[in-house]
Amino acid sequence: MKKLPILFCFLTGCLLNVGIARAQEADSTGLPGDDFSLQGAIEMFKKAGSPEEFEKMINTESNNVNNLDLNGDGQTDYVRVIDKSDKDVHAFVLQVAVSESENQDIAVIELEKNGSESAVLQIVGDEDIYGEQMIVEASDGSNDDEESPSKNGPSFNYDNSAMVVNVWMWPCVRFVYRPVYVPWISPWRWKLYPTWWRPWHPMAWRVFHPLAFRYHPFCRVVRTHRVIAAHRVYTPFRTGSVIVRTRHAGAVRNYRVTRTRTTVTGPRGGKVKVTRTKVRGKRG
């Protein structure tokens, strides 16, 4: 008789695991952005000592940040980092060489110094990869909306509605604001990669998502562009790939089916038009 409760618990556990797996499958948007963690990229940038080290960390398999295979060759893509800078403004472009002649931006980390010991940072996922501009920033893990105050170290009021984490003490941030810093431009390109890197077979969504999800509590998806100058520095250099747009056109169209136009506030009350998309799956 004692075997029955054990068997019942076993079956219940199996059903629960199946339910979780199905829920994770439903959560997938089907977009290539499912395979690159913006939250994970922020965490790697927070830990890295330099942009070069950051590039290595996002391409390290065990960190579970990058699972991209944009051209469908069955191997993960190498994500290179290029710093477009202008004085105290940095736009770190995360880019994949899709072929010998085409590159695709995945996201851009936008960083601005706005005080002697304060800086603000956001990462913006490219609309061809995420279906819309996906804006993510660091949080203290206790809130999941941009109206909640952050308690993670020094922070400042940027738009009178949200307390934003001050990233000045992050090692990589301090590194790029040193007087002797030379903007990092990754030397790697199509078929020319660092000797330490070996591509791996991309993981299925149901495998990759739980591994990358551990970064989510330390970030939040927001609707406000707080890093305006860096975004302007980046925009003229935004790069897209015909291969990527063609291959993922169906998924992007499906994602944008119920797209609406909206207006969000900039950091000082200015209006910035962006695209918002409503989908059945979840993004955060």
Q: Tokens 């499958």 — which residue?
A: 25
State pTM to two decimals: 0.79
Tens-digit pLDDT profile for the chain (284 aa)?
555 555 555 555 544 444 444 434 447 889 999 999 999 999 999 999 999 999 999 999 999 999 999 999 999 999 999 999 999 999 999 999 999 999 999 999 999 999 999 999 999 999 999 999 999 999 975 544 443 333 333 333 333 345 789 999 999 999 999 999 999 999 999 999 999 999 999 999 999 999 999 999 999 999 999 999 999 999 999 999 999 999 999 999 888 885 554 444 455 555 555 545 454 444 55
Nearest residue to 226 via CA among 171, 150, 172: 150
**Could you tell me if 254 and 30 are in contact, meaning their C-beta atoms sit under 8 angstroms apart?**
yes
Nearest residue to 231 via CA among 268, 264, 272, 172: 272
